[in-house]
Amino acid sequence: MNRGRIILNASRGGAISPPKRMSAIERSCVTCGDTEEEAHLERCVQCGKWFCPDCAFKQTGRRFDSAGCARDFFWGQTDEDDEDDTTQRDPPEY
């Protein structure tokens, strides 16, 4: 068992550095900016951005960082650039 920090690649003989971890400063909520020290951050399964539970967009038992990611996850990405359901629209007049 190798307890050292550097692992040798058997096929090439070169050194492989250990994987880098992101610091808590780099991980922050995309909406409010809370860090991992202030809130439990989750990663969006669609885009990979970090978000806190207070800013999460919840749909069908899953949490996303935005309504657009939830839509893309369930319905796929659309080709229409002008359709953005993350903005508020005026209610229809009857």
pLDDT of residue 24: 47
| Residue 5 per-residue DSSP state | S
pLDDT of residue 37: 87
pLDDT tens digits, 59-72 = 989 999 999 999 99
pLDDT of residue 49: 92
- Which among 53, 51, 88, 82 is positioned nearest to 69, based on CA atoms? 51
Consecutive 10-residue averages of pLDDT for the chain (94 residues) = 50 56 70 89 91 92 92 76 61 76
Phi and psi at 75, nearest 5°, equal -115, -5
Tokens standing for 38? 């202030």
Contact assessment for residue 64 and residue 30, using Cβ atoms and an 8 Å cutoff: no
